[in-house]
Structure 1
Amino acid sequence: MRVRRSIFAAGALLLSAGGAAAQEGSTPAGQPHPWQMGLQEALSPIEAQIHWFSNYVLAFIVPITILVAALLGWCVYRFRESRNREASRTSHNTLIEVVWTLAPVIVLLFIAVPSFQLLTAQYNPPSEPELTVKATGYQWYWGYEYQPSNDSPEAQAKAVSFDSYPLAQLTDSLADQDAASEAKGGLDFYPRLLAVDNEMVVPVNTVIRVTTTSADVIHSWAVPSMGVKVDAVPGRLNEYWFEALKEGLFYGQCSELCGQNHANMPIAVRVVSKEQFQKWYAAAAEDVGEANKQLMAEVDGRKAVEVAGR
């Protein structure tokens, strides 16, 4: 069973990579694309399993929908009033009742088993998380706190925390929102209503633990391409994990209606190499703003070189 899940997860990654290649040159991965109908590209092991499970369930939904529609159409045609002046008095059919009882039970069992496997994987990381980040929801922004691996004074002194605000407000005009995105680095990488001033920075190929809570009302920390959606509830800590498979900027939004500006409560996760993360973390312990500028200069410079080399 584990081998089969690995095969299907790899298949989902290949399919999503193919979709991303078709869209290369328009907008980067990790965010919505124009006219997108399917799920966002799978950029974490859990999201790859979610893609597989979505396609797996669809394989049941489509034939069942076609069968039910065909049966309804046949009944409408076969038992219409013009052909049945006298209504049938049939009230029982053992074979039909057995079939429509057993068939749904079997279908639900086939859906339930991989569903429980996916649910178990979502809350059981493959290894001990190497980094823990606490995300606190506020009306209407996020606060991040990187929690040290130990409680020593030296580690506490190097703890990093900051707030992440939308790059532009809903009250700003579209021109102002676009100008803010262009000033930071362009609409392709900093989309309108998704970009923030300070992204959550994490290393690639690393198991990350995310704990969430809220300071006011219920929020939800969700990044679709990472397969993450966990509620932030006042007075409670919820826990989830993810592992980014590639570097880049990945976006999400608060997914729990939380008030007037719920639509402008974006989430941005910047995934970098482990070496870049260590340098950023050391600098962020002193000055988050300066650390972000240094990281953006390094990342954007490398991106410019890659683009020039195409």
Structure 2
Amino acid sequence: MRNPLHAVWAALATLLLATQAQAAQPVDWQIGFQPAVTDIMREINWFNNYTLWFIGPITLLVLVLLIIVILRFRARTNPDPSKTSHNTAIEVIWTLGPVIVLLCLAIPSFQLLNAQYTPPEEPQFTIKATGYQWYWGYEYQVEQEVSFDSILLSDDDRAEYGKEDRAEYPRLLAVDNEMVVPVGTTVRLLVTAADVIHSFAMPSFGVKMDGVPGRLNETWFKADREGLYYGQCSELCGKDHAYMPIGIRVVSVEQYGTWLAAAADDVEAANAQLMASIQEAEKSVELAANEAQKIKE
């Protein structure tokens, strides 16, 4: 009986972790990237770690060479400097070495760059993000078009929007209306600006695209985990550049369909309904997990 109970508990715990709201955001003393929720971001993480295997040894080699030069060829220990004008072996090494290193870096970087602009499948729908001084406007280019603005959430408005939990809705990152997308769906993102150059950056998605007035730049993403993710404008765009966050809420396909239908009439009401649905689902899974824990005990 013990093994089946463990299996039930493990399954429910996994479901709880997968269902409960996760918020990817900067944390104190963070030195790495935010958790990746797209394949592109995982490739970026891999390439970052891959380059360190080159950067580390090269840095140590240069350090060692500098120390040798400083100690061995200083005036006190080497009063009669060499008159050597060239050395064929050294010149071949310092020419071929960097070429090989650059090739090892260039090939995977070009492959990653190509993947960032080549979605694996035809995007299911398109969202246009327009940068303004200093907020974002979103247009869903679907059958029944949905459009709304996304503005930094002020402390005075937290209660009105039901976003008083600062762990999930942090100061200077939370917005009044998040972009809502379905999990496991390829989304085409068009980025532009209405006044000055902005930049749409979502670290967990591996997305960073400049918004240039009078121009449409295209990228894509496919989030594979539900949750709430934060980014910011990453192009200096004026005095309130630091107050131009980006919020994307990834939900199930069913929740997205319900939200989209309601958002065509009232975006804020649709968001409130979506948040209530998510909280209800979290409570149901938590109760199930508690019951499983009681059975286990």
TM-score if structure 1 supplies the norm length? 0.83
Q: Are 2:102 and 1:102 equivalent residues in the alignment?
A: no
In the TM superposition, 1:230-245 aligns within 5 A as 230-245=209-224
Name 1:171's counterpart in structure 2. Answer: none
Name 1:143's counterpart in structure 2. Answer: 137
Structure 2 vs 1, CA of residues 283 and 220 (structure 1 numbering), >3 Å: closer, same or farther? Answer: same
Name 2:106's counterpart in structure 1. Answer: 112
Measure, in 2, the Cα distance between the counterparts of 1:166 and 1:179.
Answer: 11
3-state SS of 2:208 partner: strand
Q: Displacement of 1:34 after TM fit?
A: 1.9
Find the partner of 1:124 among 118, 125, 129: 118
Q: Displacement of 1:184 after TM fit?
A: 1.1
In the TM superposition, 1:1-310 aligns within 5 A as 28-148=22-142, 155=143, 158-168=144-154, 176=155, 183-307=162-286, 309=289
Cα deviation code 1:236-295 (max 9, x no counterpart): 000000000100000000000000000000000000000000000000011111101100
Greater radius of gyration (CA)? 2
Q: Displacement of 1:99 after TM fit?
A: 0.3
Measure, in 2, the Cα distance between the counterparts of 1:141 and 1:306.
Answer: 35
Q: Which amino acid aligns with 2:166?
A: L
Measure, in 2, the Cα distance between the counterparts of 1:213 and 1:177.
Answer: 30
Structure 2 vs 1, CA of residues 47 and 101 (structure 1 numbering), >3 Å: closer, same or farther? Answer: same
Structure 2 vs 1, CA of residues 43 and 60 (structure 1 numbering), >3 Å: closer, same or farther? Answer: same
Q: Displacement of 1:304 after TM fit?
A: 3.6
Determine what percentage of the aligned residue pairs are the same residue: 60
Q: Are the aligned partners of 2:43 and 2:112 in contact in 1 as well (CA < 8 Å)?
A: yes
Cα deviation code 1:208-247 (max 9, x no counterpart): 1000110000000000000000000000000000000100
Measure, in 1, the Cα distance between the counterparts of 2:165 and 2:54.
Answer: 42
3-state SS of 2:28 partner: coil
Measure, in 2, the Cα distance between the counterparts of 1:191 and 1:182.
Answer: 14
3-state SS of 1:259 partner: coil
Q: Displacement of 1:306 after TM fit?
A: 4.1
Q: Which amino acid aligns with 1:257?
A: L
Q: Are the aligned partners of 1:135 and 1:210 in contact in 2 as well (CA < 8 Å)?
A: yes
Q: Displacement of 1:131 after TM fit?
A: 1.5
Measure, in 2, the Cα distance between the counterparts of 1:227 and 1:78.
Answer: 47
Structure 2 vs 1, CA of residues 145 and 125 (structure 1 numbering), >3 Å: closer, same or farther? Answer: same
Q: Displacement of 1:194 after TM fit?
A: 0.3
Higher RCO, Cα 8 Å, sep 6+: 2
Cα deviation code 1:85-116 (max 9, x no counterpart): 12221111110011000000000001000000
Q: Are the aligned partners of 2:22 and 2:226 in contact in 1 as well (CA < 8 Å)?
A: no
Q: Are the aligned partners of 1:212 and 1:231 in contact in 2 as well (CA < 8 Å)?
A: yes
Cα deviation code 1:67-92 (max 9, x no counterpart): 11011111111112111112221111
Q: Displacement of 1:203 after TM fit?
A: 0.2
Q: Give the unaligned 5+ runs of structure 1.
A: 1-20, 149-154, 169-175
Name 1:14's counterpart in structure 2. Answer: none
3-state SS of 2:209 partner: strand
Q: Displacement of 1:46 after TM fit?
A: 0.3
3-state SS of 1:184 partner: coil
Cα deviation code 1:10-69 (max 9, x no counterpart): xxxxxxxxxxx9xxx9x9442112221111111101000000000011110000001110
Measure, in 1, the Cα distance between the counterparts of 2:278 and 2:164.
Answer: 11
3-state SS of 1:190 partner: coil
Q: Are the aligned partners of 1:209 and 1:239 in contact in 2 as well (CA < 8 Å)?
A: yes
Measure, in 2, the Cα distance between the counterparts of 1:280 and 1:52.
Answer: 35
Structure 2 vs 1, CA of residues 55 and 240 (structure 1 numbering), >3 Å: closer, same or farther? Answer: same
Q: Are the aligned partners of 1:122 and 1:240 in contact in 2 as well (CA < 8 Å)?
A: yes
Measure, in 1, the Cα distance between the counterparts of 2:277 and 2:189.
Answer: 26
Measure, in 2, the Cα distance between the counterparts of 1:199 and 1:185.
Answer: 15
